[in-house]
Amino acid sequence: MASSLDFLIVMAVLYLVECVRRVGPDELTLDRRLYSGFRLKRPAPYPNNAHWGWVMLNPWRPDGPSFSLRPTACLLADDPGDIPTEGAVLRNLDGARFDLDGINEVCATLRRRTSNIRRIALALLAVCFGLFPACLFFLGLRATLLPAVAASLLASMCIATLYRRIAKLISPCTTAVDIYGNVAKFVLYPISAIRCMDLLSRDYLEAFDPIAVATVLCGREQAARLAARELVILRYSVTQEVHTDSRAAVAEYRLARLQLLESFVTQQRLPVQAFIDPPAQPDETCDTYCPACGVQFRLSEGVCPDCPNIFLQPLRWPKRLQPVESTGEAHA
């Protein structure tokens, strides 16, 4: 029985490894919740994070989908190395990236085209981690292993066939090497076939802005958090003196991006100010706060030491703390 338990543990570990996704700098992951909706995951502060990271996808929902989103080609920091191509700039300032109806439509198309492969992936998960352990407990490893391997291979071959057809349909830019490499991996390693939807859906929404996608799939609060973070950088970050044409392009892009984002926030009534405004009960000894992290300071002006390039903003005091101005009139 110990050998059977060890076998199941190895299978579970291998599957959990398949649920881990490596994400690039500033890459956001939308992962499916257990019942409905999506959860926004990011391994580090967003945006302007230059580090790679890892996220754990929901192991109970291999049918996904799970999406990876990348922010505007940032120009949010004043690093000349971050300057994108002209095509990236034009895409990020395109109002079509905020088309909520378009996001709903492409998500419905993805669900329709992947309905069969999602069902088979769920069935394979049930066989590997439901039916197989039950048979292993009652019948033993020797009587269970061969039928389980045959069923897993059959399911993985069906997934590989469907994946090849769907990948060419929804992602024509995918190279033949990537497609057939994944097909071979699914057939030879059935546990990886359970997570086939991660490959099909990862870049499916790359044509849309992350804030717009979060509004549709994650809800207004999550979208407001993302929008507030970017608005803080666009409004309050330190702008270095413009000495070159590239820095002039940075300033022009940031202004256009700010106007587009503010327009979207206003139309959708996202509660971004709740994440930007100063604390409701400010410290009486402090004069400023950081709109990015909310920390209060005694400095009258300056830059937040924890949030690079973010100007400190004055606290808006409640009326009971505001000094009363003298009018010079005598009162009885």
Domain identity same for 170 and 283: no
Domain boundary among 175, 201, 227: 201
pLDDT surpasses 90 at 160 = yes
Distances (CA, A) of 296 to 5, 232, 264, 288: 54, 16, 29, 6
Task: Tell me how far apart the alpha carbons of residues 140 and 162 are, in angstroms, rounded to a whole number.
Answer: 33
Rounded CA separation 315/24 (Å)? 36
* pLDDT for position 185: 95
Per the domain annotation, does 245 fall within a domain? no
- Rounded CA-CA distance 246/233 in Å is 19
Kindly compute the dihedral angle of the four CA atoms of residues 200, 162, 173, 109, in this order, to the nearest 10 degrees: -60
**Residue 274, in any domain of the structure:** no
- For residues 22 and 168, membership in a common domain is answered with yes
Residues above pLDDT 90, as percent of the chain: 40
Mean pLDDT of the chain: 82
- Same domain? For 189 and 50 the reply is yes
Bigger pLDDT: 71 or 31? 31
| pLDDT mean over 164-179 | 91
C-alpha–C-alpha distance, residues 176 and 86, integer Å? 29
The arithmetic mean of pLDDT across residues 184-193, rounded, is 94
Confidence band of 96 (pLDDT split at 50, 70, 90): confident
Rounded CA separation 122/61 (Å): 8
pLDDT at 153 (0 to 100): 94
Q: Are residues 28 and 176 in the same domain?
A: yes
pLDDT of 34: 86
Q: Let me know whether 164 and 283 are in one domain.
A: no
Name the pLDDT band for 159 (thresholds 50, 70, 90): very high
Residues 295 and 195 in one domain: no
**Domain stop point among 147, 172, 201:** 201
pTM of the model: 0.82
Token pair listed for 104: 């709903």
Task: Note whether residue 224 is domain-resident.
Answer: no
| Least confident piece of the model among 51-60, 130-139, 192-201, 309-318 | 309-318
Question: Taking residues 150-156, what's their average pLDDT?
Answer: 94
Q: Confirm whether 128 is domain-assigned.
A: yes
* One domain, residues 30 and 149: yes
Amino acid at 138: F
Q: Do residues 187 and 307 share a domain?
A: no
223 or 44: which leads in pLDDT: 223
288 φ, ψ (degrees, to nearest 5):
-135, 170
Q: Is residue 72 part of a domain?
A: yes
CA dihedral 315, 317, 322, 327 (to 10 degrees): 80
Q: Which tens digit of pLDDT belongs to each residue from 19-69? A: 999 888 778 899 999 888 899 887 655 665 667 788 899 999 998 899 988
| Structural domain boundaries, residue 316 | 279-332
Verify that 48 and 193 share a domain, yes or no: yes
Please report which confidence band the pLDDT of residue 142 belongs to, taking 50, 70 and 90 as the band edges: confident
Kindly state whether residue 168 falls inside one of the protein's structural domains: yes
User: For position 270, what pLDDT does the model report?
Assistant: 92
- How many structural domains is the chain composed of? 2
Average pLDDT over residues 275-304: 83
Q: Would residue 9 count as lying in a domain?
A: yes
Residue 276 has pLDDT above 60, yes or no: yes
Q: Within 13 Å and on the Cβ side, how many CA atoms surround 57?
A: 30
Cα–Cα distance, 284 to 75 (Å, whole number): 36
Instruction: Please tell me whether residues 182 and 56 are part of one structural domain.
Output: yes
User: Does 176 map to a domain?
Assistant: yes
User: What residues are paired with 31 via a beta bridge?
Assistant: 39
- Contact yes or no for 189/73 (Cβ under 8 A): no
